[in-house]
């Protein structure tokens, strides 16, 4: 039986690339989507073209019940969950002096609470099955700070904290937890608030001379979930072309 992965926020961008990369590596994939069923169906078609099973799982990770429902749907579709990729996230850019409580709460609910409780639900299923597993959390280069994303930077820094703590909590169960912190990646997200000319300038400013590709983030996620990374847990992997070296 193929292993199964749940990828949150998989209808586009890095999540889409992760879903396709895991399918290419032989996983059945639960594709979580929020508001674009056509995009999600296109991802599922790519998974099936790779010879793997796909399940479309609509839902919002901002609430605990939603997180648990995504994992339950994965179990119902495939009978197991071996890997969780906590990719779902939002970055509504807003100057700090204009940020509202509602904006703060929404970003924390999706990016941080969602990651924590999707991980909890997946880990409970992995523990019950007794086969261990892997969780890959998506952080961001924005841990270094961003003036129009105080709430976003707070969540992505928080992701590092929960990654390390969950790695310690889940190690006795054979569940590994790691985080990937991408730099600016060529997806829809950086295009929100930036012109194409500005994006190209951002790419030229990177030491390696370009923006990241979502496939590069996905390849790292597959590696961290694989047996090739069997002694890797609690780590933060920065992938940014040299633009941030903590």
Report helix angle 150-170 to 101-108, nearest 10: 30
Whether 194 has a pLDDT exceeding 90, the answer reads no
| Calpha distance 88→69 (Å, rounded) | 15
CA angle 238, 186, 188 (to 5 degrees): 115
For residue 58, the number of C-alpha atoms closer than 13 Å in the C-beta half-sphere is 8
Residue 85, phi then psi, degrees to nearest 5: -110, 110
Helix then strand count (H, E) for the chain reads 9, 7
Backbone angles phi, psi at 138, to 5 degrees: -95, 115
Tokens of 181: 């912190």
Active site residue ranges: 140, 152, 156
Q: How confident is the model at residue 1 (pLDDT cuts 50, 70, 90)?
A: confident
pLDDT score recorded for residue 8? 98
For the chain, the average pLDDT equals: 96
Question: What pLDDT score was predicted for residue 188?
Answer: 76
Q: Which two tokens stand for residue 156?
A: 């992505």
pLDDT value for 234: 98
Q: What is the mean pLDDT of residues 48-63?
A: 98
Please, is 33 exposed, middle or buried when counting C-beta atoms within 10 Å of its C-beta (0-12, 13-18, 19+)? buried
31 Cβ neighbours under 8 A, 6+ residues apart: 7, 10, 11, 19, 40, 43, 44, 47, 54, 55, 56, 57
Q: What is the pLDDT of residues 149-166, one digit of tens each?
A: 999 999 999 999 999 999
Has residue 172 got a pLDDT over 90? yes
Task: Find all residues with CB under 8 Å of 187, minimum gap 6, and list them.
Answer: 12, 13, 14, 214
Mean pLDDT of the 217-238 span = 98
- pLDDT value of position 187: 86
Q: What's the mean pLDDT in 87-94?
A: 96
What pLDDT shows up at residue 199? 85
pLDDT tens digits, residue range 64-90? 999 999 999 999 999 999 999 999 999
pLDDT confidence of residue 212: 95
User: What's the whole-number mean pLDDT along residues 33-39?
Assistant: 97
Q: Report residue 193's pLDDT band, with 50, 70 and 90 as the boundaries.
A: low
Q: Which two tokens stand for residue 200?
A: 């190209």
Domains defined along the chain, listed by start: 4-239 (3.40.50.720)
């Amino acid at each position: 039986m193929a292993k199964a992965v749940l990828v949150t926020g998989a209808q586009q961008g890095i999540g889409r690339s992760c879903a396709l990369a895991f399918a290419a590596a032989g996983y059945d994939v639960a594709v979580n989507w929020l508001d674009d069923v056509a995009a999600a169906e296109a991802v599922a078609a790519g998974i099936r073209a790779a010879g793997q099973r796909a399940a479309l799982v609509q839902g919002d990770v901002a609430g605990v019940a939603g997180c648990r429902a995504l994992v339950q749907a994965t179990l119902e579709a495939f009978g197991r969950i071996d890997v969780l990729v906590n990719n779902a996230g939002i970055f509504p850019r807003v100057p700090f002096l204009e940020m509202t409580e509602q904006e703060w709460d929404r970003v924390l609910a999706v990016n941080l609470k969602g990651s924590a409780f999707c991980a909890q639900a997946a880990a409970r299923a992995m523990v019950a099955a007794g086969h261990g597993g892997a969780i890959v959390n998506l952080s961001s280069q924005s841990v270094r700070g961003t003036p129009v994303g105080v709430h976003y930077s707070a969540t992505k820094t928080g992701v590092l904290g929960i990654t390390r703590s969950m790695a310690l909590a889940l190690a006795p169960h054979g569940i590994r937890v790691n985080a990937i912190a991408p730099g600016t990646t060529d997806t829809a997200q950086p295009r929100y608030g930036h012109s194409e000319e500005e994006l190209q300038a951002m790419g030229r400013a990177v030491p390696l001379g370009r923006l990241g590709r979502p496939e590069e983030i996905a390849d790292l996620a597959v590696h961290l979930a694989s047996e090739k990374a069997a002694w890797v847990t609690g780590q933060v992997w920065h992938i940014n072309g040299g633009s941030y070296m903590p």
